Chains A and B, each alone.
Chain A
Amino acid sequence: MPSQTFESYYQSIRQRQKRESLLWSIGILIVYFYSGYLSEFSLSVVWQGIPHFFDYLSDILPTLHLPVLFADGHTKGSFAYWGYRLNIQIPLLGQTIAIAIAATLFSSLMATFASFPASNNTQIHWSLRYSLRSIAAFCRTMPELAWAVMFVMAFGVGPIPGFFALFLHSFGCQTKLFYETVEVASDKPVRGLRALGASRLMRMRYGLWPQVAPTFMSYTFMRLETNFRQSTILGLVGGGGIGQELMTSIKLDHYDQVSIVLIQIILVVSLLDFISGKLRHRLLKEMSV
C-alpha cells in the first residue's frame, strides 16, 4: 500500500489519540467541577481551613521537655505524662486487633463456602447463585458503621456487635473477590474429574479449590489490614476497641491523647502491612514453584 506514506499514517493515528484524550479530559473536568460544586468545595474555605488544620496538628503534638523526658507520670513534659492512659489504651488496641482478626477469619471462611455456589462455573442452580450474590452485594454496600449501629442497638455496647458488623461487611467484600477468582480458574481439571465420574462437590474440592486457595489466602491477608483500619472506627458508635478512646479524645480536646492513639494505630497498621506483605510474597513464590 504505497498510497500512504508513513508520516501521514502516523499523523492520522496520532490525531485520533489526541482527539480521544481531549474528549476524555473535557469529560473528566466537567465531572470534576460538577462534583466540586455538589460537595461545596470552595478554595477560599480550604485556604482558610489549612492553617486550622496545621494548628490542630501542632496542638496534638505532645509537650515534651528534654530535661524531664524520662521523669515519672506526674511531671509535665515527660513521656510518662504523655502516655498516662497507655494502660487503658493498649488493651483497647488489643481488642481492636482481636476484633479484626476474628472478623477476617470468619468472613473468609464463610465467603469460601459462599463463593463456589455463587460463581457461574460450578453448575449450581441460578436461583441460588443470584440470591447469594445479592446478599453479598447488600452486605458490602451497607456501610460498616450502619451495621455497627444496628448491632449496638440490638446487643448493647461492646466488641461483639463490632465483630458482627465487621464480619457482615467483609463477608460481602470477600465473597465478591472470591467468586471472581473461582470464575477465572481453569476448567480443565474440572472436566477431567467429570470424565472420571466425580460428583459436583468433588469437582469443586479437587478441581477448583487447589487453583484458588493461594489467591483466597492472599485476599484474606489484604482484608486483615483493611479490617484493622475499619475496626478502629467501630468505637465511634459503641462497637468496642480503640475508636471509643479516640473519639472521646477528639471531642473532649485531649490533644496529646489524640496524637498518642493515632501513633499507636499507625504503628499497628504499618506492622500488619509489613507482615502481610511478607506472607503474601512467600505465598506467591510458593504458587509459582
Chain B
Amino acid sequence: MINHSNTISTSERSNNERQYAAIYASRRRHMVITFSLGLIILFYYIFFFYFNGLTPEQMFQGLDKLGQYFARMFIWRNVSQWPFGYYFTQIAVTLGIVFAGTFTATLLALPLSFLASRRVMNTFVLASISVVIRRLFDIMRGIDMAIWGMIFIRAVGMGPLAGVMAIFIQDTGLLGKLYAESHDAVDKRPSRGLSALGANHLQKHRFGIFTQSFPQFLALTLYQIESNTRSAAVLGFVGAGGIGLVYAENMRLWNWDVVMFITLVLVLLVMLMDKASELLRKKYIIGEDIPLFNQPTQHTEK
C-alpha cells in the first residue's frame, strides 16, 4: 500500500491481483461503497441548499455582516466601564443552576435507574414496570432543556429556578438511561456468589451490581456536570436564568466584545472543571490498589 504505484511494474501488479484476488476485490468494493456514499451526501447538500438556499446577494451581505461581528469581537472598547460584577454573578448563577439541577437529577435518577434496569427487574411484572420507566426517561430526555425551561417558566415563573427544574428533568431522563445501561453491563458472578451466601435482593443489588457500576456512575455524572455547564447558557435565552441573558442582551446591543469575553471566561471555567474531574477520575474511577492483608510489599512492587 505504501509503495508508490510507479515502483511496481504493470506485470507485477497484475500478478499481485491474481494472487490476492480476495484482497483486491474487497478493496474495490470498499472504494465503490465510499464513492457512492460520497455522491449521496453531495446530492443531499445540493438539495438542502437548493431548497433552503440564500440568494448570492443575501449571502454576500450576510458574510459582510459576519465579518463586522467578528472584527468587533476582537476590538474591546470601554473595558473599564463593563459591569464585571453583574457578569460574574450571572456566571455564578449558571454554575449554581448546573450543580443544583444535576445533583438533584442524580439523586432521583439513581433509584429510578435500578427500577429501569433489565438486570434488576427480571420477572414479568417488574419488567413491564421497567419498560414504563424507560419510556418515561425517553420523554424527559427527548425534549430539549430550553423547551423544558419554557414549560417550567409557566409553572414557577421566570428566573433560575425554572432552569434548575429544566436541567433536573432532562438529566433525570439522560442519566437514568445511562445508569441503567451501566447496571446492565456488570459482571453477573458477584451477584450469584452473594445469593449463594444468602444475601437478599437489596444486598445483591447494592454489593453485586452497584459496586461494579459505581465508577461508571461517577464518570457519567462528572461528564454531565461539565456538558451542562456548556449547554446551560441556552436557558437564559428563554428567561430561565443565568448567563444566556447576558448573551442575548449584548448581542442585541451589538456588544460583540462582551460576547467574546464571556465565552472566553466560560472556556476557562470548563477547562478548570475538566482538570478537577480528571483528578477525581484518577482517584475514584481508575482507583487505587488496596494492598491485600499481609502482602503489602508484593502489591506495591507490581
Listed in ascending order, the chain A residues whose CB lies under 8 Å from chain B are 1, 4, 6, 9-10, 13, 28, 31-32, 34-42, 45-46, 48-50, 52-53, 56, 95, 98, 101-102, 105-106, 134, 137-138, 140-146, 149-151, 153-156, 158-160, 163, 193, 196-198, 202, 206, 229-230, 232-233, 236-237, 240, 246-247, 250, 262, 265-266, 269-270, 273
A151 neighbours in B (Cβ, 8 Å): 62, 66
Contact A262 B99 (CB under 8 A): no
Q: Which of the residues B59, B65, B100 comes within 8 Å of A41, measured between beta carbons?
A: B100
Contact A140 B230 (CB under 8 A): yes
Q: How far is the CA of A145 from the CA of B252 in the complex (A)?
A: 13
Contact B146 A40 (CB under 8 A): no
**Smallest Cβ-Cβ distance to B164: which chain A residue:** A39
Q: Is B131 in contact with chain A by the CB < 8 A criterion? A: no
Contact A160 B52 (CB under 8 A): yes
A138 neighbours in B (Cβ, 8 Å): 263-264, 267
Binds A, one of B18-26, B116-124, B195-203, B232-240: B232-240
Q: Is B112 in contact with chain A by the CB < 8 A criterion? A: no
**Smallest Cβ-Cβ distance to B296: which chain A residue:** A1
Q: How far is the CA of A206 from the CA of B3 in the complex (A)?
A: 12
Q: List 20 A-B contacts (CB under 8 A).
A: A39-B101, A40-B160, A42-B161, A46-B161, A138-B263, A143-B233, A143-B234, A145-B244, A150-B66, A154-B62, A158-B52, A158-B54, A160-B52, A193-B2, A196-B2, A233-B234, A262-B143, A265-B143, A266-B143, A270-B138
**Smallest Cβ-Cβ distance to B54: which chain A residue:** A160
- Encode B224-262 as 1/0 by CB contact (under 8 A) with A: 000000110110011001001001100100000001000
Contact A236 B165 (CB under 8 A): no
Give 13 new A-B contacts, CB below 8 A, not counting A28-B103, A156-B62. Answer: A1-B294, A13-B290, A38-B96, A53-B156, A56-B155, A95-B52, A98-B48, A143-B234, A146-B247, A151-B62, A158-B52, A232-B147, A269-B142
A56 neighbours in B (Cβ, 8 Å): 151, 154-155
Contact A141 B161 (CB under 8 A): no
Q: Is B133 in contact with chain A by the CB < 8 A criterion? A: no
Q: Which of the residues A106, A149, A202, A232 comes within 8 Å of B251, measured between beta carbons?
A: A149
Q: Is B111 in contact with chain A by the CB < 8 A criterion? A: no
B293 neighbours in A (Cβ, 8 Å): 6, 9-10
A143-B247, A160-B53 known; A153+B96 contact, CB < 8 A: no
The SS class assigned to the A binding surface is helix
**Smallest Cβ-Cβ distance to B295: which chain A residue:** A1
Q: How far is the CA of A273 from the CA of B29 in the complex (A)?
A: 29
B164 neighbours in A (Cβ, 8 Å): 39, 41
Contact B154 A52 (CB under 8 A): yes
Contact B44 A31 (CB under 8 A): no
A10 neighbours in B (Cβ, 8 Å): 293
Smallest beta-carbon distance B268→chain A, Å:
9
Smallest beta-carbon distance B69→chain A, Å:
6
B2 neighbours in A (Cβ, 8 Å): 193, 196-198, 202, 206
B62 neighbours in A (Cβ, 8 Å): 151, 154-156
Q: Is B208 in contact with chain A by the CB < 8 A criterion? A: no
**Smallest Cβ-Cβ distance to B135: which chain A residue:** A270
